[in-house]
Chains A and B, each alone.
Chain A
Amino acid sequence: MDKRADPESLLPLPPATFHILIALADEDRHGYAIIQDVAARTNGELKLSAGTLYRSIHRILDQGLIVETSTRPAPELDDERRRYYRITPFGVAVARAEARRHAQLLKMARVRGLAPEKA
């Protein structure tokens, strides 16, 4: 797909999508684990619903940001009915681009005194 060539073309990402990519950045997870990770990182402020999650997954699978993995985690952790997802290199590139976009926004906001200075 031609779109894969340019990560910028998918920006800005919907917040749910960005969160999913962040959740998958360190390890492969299944759906419910992604929901729990997002909730933990945001102190329970963002609770992805199952429908939103899988709709987003459906889309970013299509866009090639993630793949379904065939390699399973260690047997004692595995819930074999579950589908596990892994971020692709393209997904990483897109997530980085999105993070950069946020960083630039933040910088601009700081210049105008809209955000606290770096701690």
Chain B
Amino acid sequence: MRLYRALLHFYPASFRAEYGEELVAVFRARRRDRTNPLSVLMLWIAGFFEILFNAIAVHWDILRQDLRYTTRTLARSPGFAITAILVVALGIGANTAAFSVTDFVLIRNLPFSQAERLVKIWQTTAGYDQMEFSPLNYRDVKRMSKSFEAIGAYTPNAVNLVGQGDPQRIYATAVTSDVIPLLGTQPLLGRVFTAADERVGAAGTVILSYPLWQTQFAGDPGVLGRKVILDDQPYIVIGVMPAHFHFPSAEVGLWTPKQFAARELEDRNDNYLEVVGRLKPGVSLEQAKAEMDVTMRQLKQQYPGENKNTGGLVISLRDELSGKSRLMLWALLGASGCVLLIACANLANLLLTRSLGRQKELAVRAALGAGRERLVRQSMTESMVLAVLGGALGILVALASVPLLSKLVPNTLPIASTPAVDFRVLIFAGMLTVVTGIVFGVLPALRASGKGDMNALREGARSGGGRKERLRATLVIAEVTISVVLLISSGLLIRALWKLQGTDPGFHAAGVLTMQTALPMPKYERTARRVEFYDRVLTEVRALPRVSSAAYITSVPMLWGGGIWPVDINGQVVERTAAHTVSMRYATPGFFSTLEIPLMLGRDISESDTVDRQFVAVVSQSFARRYWPDQNPLGRHFQLAFHDRMVVGVVGDVRVRGLEGPSEPQTYLSYQQAADGAWVFYAPRNLAVRSAGTPGSLAPAIRQIIQSADREQPISDVQTLEQIVELKTAARTVQVRVLGAFAAIAFLLAAIGIHGLLSFAVSQRNREIGVRMALGAASGDILRMVMRQGVWVALAGVLPGLALAYVAARLMQALLAGIQPGDLPTFLSAAGLCLLMTLVGSFLPALRAVRIDPMTAIRTE
């Protein structure tokens, strides 16, 4: 019988208490009727299943009963129900959205088979801890390494696609034949590259991305074998990749095979290859790293000159994103967690207040025999219903807000550009909802069922004992603490954003329109042909009304951080380290005036700086200062990109790489001073136009000019220079906005919390206040009394909040762009705001307390 009694624990406790003995009695009677061991066994088996099924049924019955009761009570106080549901929806929505992005970018496996074995391999050089490989070093590493199942190299580029409607500029990637197979993704149509495609001189082949296939080829399954023209060269379409394949990033539209021309295998310091590998099964990242160290050391011994400062780095492909992106997302997730905590505290408080108001009702129910377990269960059902309704609404909130967060998805990962709210995210939201319901429901539930509350039945009993009051105050204090942390965090990030946006980029972006016309090679291999194109376009553009100047350059600042080269100075020993590199750009005359980069010394590049004259360069101030401090740099010579150059001008420094962090000094070379077929990768491709009107309005006229110069020339990336600069801080801006919104929500909830706490306290102390007033207390005393309580709560919340905020700020210091984590103005304004909030929140209840009429207050009791 003891076993049977144990089985009865499947039933709810209330049911067991009521009918347990009866069930045991029936079972005992039945047991007595049986003597045959087999039939006894059958009785036990039947009994077991019977208990199981009936227990579920009883639980279900009670749930239905509680649900009915909950619907009725919530319908009676719709204001409460709506508030609670909205608060939960905000909390769950914020967290689901933050989680979906964080999970997408940082947590879930990359969309490749056995993605955990995929790694990125970098060369390292003093000052650059992630540098591309040179083809020669790549070839040697590939040959010498044993840790990898396969290693492949790729290099991003862009091509002009002609013949499918308007000429298009498409992001492409040249990959060695190992790359796609090692990623493990099968093509949707056709085949992937083989060694035959890699051979120099082999017929051109191309694999299309799914989006490009859809948009440019209308998803035609007969696309295989079709000829397309990329940069004036014929290519045969051999495959289409599936929609989920993004490599190395989502913007890549097609892949071509990487062929190594003989001249690419001459210079061991010509670094432009990115390298991926797949670890052999059972080989750890650490083992691969150790082996790479050995390999690179051997290559250093073999080529002591070229590989002097060179090392190797192996990282998981998953980790191919900046520490900042990562930190930004964790901060976001942390902040959304804070919002949920505040939401829970707020709801717990609401429910507590309600349970105080319903004390009489609960006492009646307890007196009628509802056990503690039933009351807790009833109360939990109510909070669960609120949580589930709020959670469902929250998922809708998340669905709407996830696309807004897609700017936080870094473009360095091989994943789609917008996270999907999928099953995994929904599971997370569901679990969060349940936890939320339990967290904000359990405290009030336990309190509501508090023992011996029979006092509540007494007419006019004052409800809300000291313990409940303290619990409620603690919850509000926690809300204040968390909202201070959020306020300060977002305040610091706003200051950092302002600081960055206030950083002088070294040029004036306003009024400048930029666009890209990448000239295809070998069509424009001859320098003279390019010069003809640039001169014609620039002459006509400069003649347009309101245009003040126009120029071509390899790349306008902040669009491209590459083109970094080491410099040699006559008589100076130069190493290939960050201390001796510069960014190199070819430009036409007029670039500096177009961007309003100040010319400090000497002259601009001129039309007469042709290929048969002395090669010249305009350098930035920091370049001149680095090599010729306190001397006149004009007329000095240096060697860059295998040529001697003479300084003819000095201009102000610009932030080539963006507003955060330093950029290398800059050199600008004459667009005419390159031999035919040499440095074509650096051929000017960005047109920059300064005008007095709205920059965008010029675009159609400029388009026409370019089209008439070369009908097949695609125009891409039409944008203002201001947009380019803004894009550099876009992720930050999104993060600040989201965090700011979170902080505002938290702040509001905390204010509501303080207001609610004090209002309730005043209403509970109605009689006491009445008595005090009758005994001669002045209004001022009463006002002070209530306000003092509010200020106490605020202080108790603000002080730990300041400390916690400091800790949080230290954790995200990398995001603060030099703003100190203990930034006094931010801390003071946050504390001030909280004080203000307290005063506002407690003023109304205080006023109500003052207005209490002593006679009525005493009489009603």
Q: Which residues of A contact B (CB under 8 A)?
A: 30-32, 35, 49-55, 57-59, 62, 81-83
Contact = CB atoms under 8 A, between A and B. Distances in A.
Which 6 A-B pairs rank lowest in CB-CB distance, beginning with the nearest? Answer: A51-B54, A50-B26, A54-B19, A49-B50, A50-B23, A32-B26
Interface string B4-33: 000000000001001101110111010000
Nearest to A34: B26
A6 B674 CA distance: 100
Given A51-B51, A54-B18, 13 more contacts: A31-B26, A32-B25, A32-B29, A35-B26, A49-B46, A50-B23, A51-B23, A51-B58, A52-B50, A54-B23, A55-B61, A58-B58, A62-B65
Contact of B22 (A54, A59, A62): A54
B22 A82 contact: yes
A7 B438 CA distance: 39
A83 B21 CA distance: 10
B830 interface: no
Contacts of A52: 50, 54
A12 to B, nearest CB: 18
B21 A81 contact: yes
Contact of B61 (A30, A31, A50, A59): A59
A77 to B, nearest CB: 16
B828 interface: no
Main secondary structure of the interface of A (DSSP, over half): helix
24 contacts: A31-B25, A32-B25, A35-B26, A49-B46, A50-B22, A50-B50, A51-B50, A51-B55, A51-B57, A51-B58, A52-B50, A53-B26, A54-B22, A54-B54, A55-B57, A55-B61, A58-B15, A58-B18, A58-B61, A59-B61, A62-B65, A81-B21, A81-B25, A82-B22
B53 interface: yes
A81 B25 CA distance: 9
Interface size class on chain B is: 20 to 34
Contacts of B61: 55, 58-59
Contacts of A82: 22, 25
A49 B51 CA distance: 9
Contacts of B46: 49
Contact of A83 (B22, B50, B58): B22
Contacts of A55: 54, 57-58, 61
A59 B23 CA distance: 16
A95 B119 CA distance: 75
A55 B54 CA distance: 7
A57 B19 contact: yes
Contacts of B25: 31-32, 81-82
Nearest to A61: B18
Contact of A58 (B19, B29, B51): B19
Contacts of A49: 46, 50, 54
Contacts of A32: 25-26, 29
Contacts of B58: 51, 55, 58
Nearest to A31: B22
Contacts of A81: 21, 25
Nearest to B18: A58
Interface string B349-381: 000000000000000000000000000000000
Contacts of A59: 61
B5 to A, nearest CB: 13
Contacts of A53: 26
Nearest to A35: B26
A2 to B, nearest CB: 12
Contacts of A50: 22-23, 26-27, 50
A59 B68 CA distance: 14
